[in-house]
A = this chain, B = another copy of it.
Amino acid sequence: MKISELGQRAGIPLSALKYYQREGLLPEGIRSSPNQTSYGEAHVQRVHLIRALLQTGGLSVAATKDVIAVLDAPDAPIAETFRVAQHAMGTPRTTELTPSPAARERILALAREQEWCIANDNPGIDTAARALEGLEAIGFDAPADYLGAYAAAAAEAAGADLRALASLDEPDKVAELMVVGTVLGDPLFAGLRRLAHEDATTALFPVDDTNGKQP
């Protein structure tokens, strides 16, 4: 197909496709004549992936490029692919602060309680530790049952992620869902948690106005 058809199939403007190509995210099509380049299904899939990482996942162009390079590397063991992708994705929004050793140690202790086998450089440690420090800054010293509930919730979601991966046949699809699921599981959970908050808050602190409520 022509690049204009690729844009229609993927539902994005030509200018965005050219931008993806300039940034090295989307490979060139196959040159079928001096003035004509041809695109296939692999390009449609790639555009969907780029869009999911950049726009919905909120990754930078550089991080998106790193993640795609990992996905494209042949013969990488799948756990290694996941590890490299996790680091490439980093932890958006909270990269500028280094957490205190005490906050890191609380997260490591929590991981030991869960009997999680993890590397000391898993970027999740710093992400969670920084959140803990922010809670401590307003005087909330997250108690053990609070952290335990979050760890249980994380294990539940991660279990669902892994079952979804195990249900796929093609290695390419597994790697793709690993990466995209890691990025998009965060906003999926964040959105659902806000719904659960509203439900629980309404139950605890009823308001008179019931307009627009679901049954």
Cβ contacts under 8 Å, A82 to chain B? 197-198, 201, 205
Q: How far is it, in angstroms, between the C-alpha of A40 and the C-alpha of B110 when the chains are bound? A: 36
Given A205-B78, A214-B112, answer yes or no on A150-B93 (Cβ-Cβ < 8 Å).
no
User: A63 at interface (Cβ–Cβ under 8 A)?
Assistant: no
> Restricting to A106-121, which residues have a CB under 8 Å from any CB of B?
107-108, 110-112, 114, 116-121
Output the least CB separation between A23 and chain B (Å). 18
Stretch at the interface among A13-21, A30-38, A176-184: A176-184
Cβ contacts under 8 Å, A198 to chain B? 82-83, 86, 116-119, 122, 124
Cβ contacts under 8 Å, A213 to chain B? 117-119
Cβ contacts under 8 Å, A197 to chain B? 82, 86, 124, 158, 161-162, 182
- Interface contact B207-A80, CB-CB below 8 Å: yes
Cβ contacts under 8 Å, A163 to chain B? 145-146
- Interface contact A149-B159, CB-CB below 8 Å: yes
User: A84 at interface (Cβ–Cβ under 8 A)?
Assistant: no
Output the least CB separation between A133 and chain B (Å). 7
Q: How far is it, in angstroms, between the C-alpha of A188 and the C-alpha of B123 when the chains are bound? A: 12
- Interface contact A137-B49, CB-CB below 8 Å: yes
- Interface contact B91-A187, CB-CB below 8 Å: yes
Mostly, the A contact residues are helix
User: A2 at interface (Cβ–Cβ under 8 A)?
Assistant: no
- Interface contact B190-A117, CB-CB below 8 Å: no
Indicate with 1 or 0, residue by residue over A177-215, a CB within 8 angstroms of chain B CB atoms: 100111111111111111111111111111100001111
Output the least CB separation between A95 and chain B (Å). 9
Which one, B51, B77, B119, B129, contacts A191 given CB within 8 A? B129
User: A153 at interface (Cβ–Cβ under 8 A)?
Assistant: yes
Cβ contacts under 8 Å, A169 to chain B? none
11 contacting pairs across A/B (C-beta < 8 A): A49-B138, A82-B201, A83-B198, A108-B214, A122-B194, A124-B191, A124-B198, A127-B191, A138-B177, A151-B196, A153-B157
